[in-house]
Amino acid sequence: MKRIWTAAITAAALLLGGCAGGADEGTGTAQPSAGGPSYPVTVGSLTLEKRPERIVSLSPTATEMLFALDAGPQVTAVDDQSTYPAEAPRTDLSSFKPNAEAVAAKNPDLVVVSDDLDKIVAQLTALKIPVFHAPAAKSLDDTYTQIGQLGALTGHPGEATALTGRMRADITAIVQGVPKRAKPLTYYYELDPTLYSVTSKTFIGSLLSPLGLTSVADAADPDGAKGGYPQLSQEALVGADPALIFLADTKCCKQSAATVQARKGWSGISAVRTGRIVAIDDDIASRWGPRVVDLVRTAADAVADVPA
- Count the domains in the chain: 2
Domain shared by 70 and 209, yes or no = no
Domain shared by 233 and 279, yes or no = yes
Q: Provide the β-strand partners of residue 75.
A: 55
Closest by Cα among 220, 193, 194 to 205:
220
Closest by Cα among 35, 79, 64 to 163:
64
Domain boundary among 124, 142, 172: 172
Q: At residue 53, does pLDDT exceed 90?
A: yes
**What is the tens place of the pLDDT at every residue in 83-132?**
999 999 999 999 999 999 999 999 999 999 999 999 999 999 999 999 99
Which ranges of 177-269 does DSSP label H, i.e. alpha helix? Answer: 203-208, 234-240, 257-261
**What is the tens place of the pLDDT at every residue in 8-35?**
444 433 333 333 333 343 344 444 433 4
Domain boundary among 172, 199, 228: 172
Q: Beta-carbon neighbour count of residue 175 at 10 Å? A: 15
pTM equals 0.87
Domain shared by 155 and 105, yes or no = yes
Asked if residue 1 is part of any domain, the answer here is no
Domain boundary among 151, 172, 193: 172
What CATH number is attached to the domain comprising 135?
Answer: 3.40.50.1980
Asked if residue 251 is part of any domain, the answer here is yes
Query: 82-111 as b/e, with b when 16 or more CB fall inside 10 Å?
Result: bbbeeebeebebebeebebeebbebebbbb
Residues of the domain holding 161: 17-172
Asked if residue 51 is part of any domain, the answer here is yes
Domain shared by 35 and 139, yes or no = yes
Domain shared by 114 and 185, yes or no = no
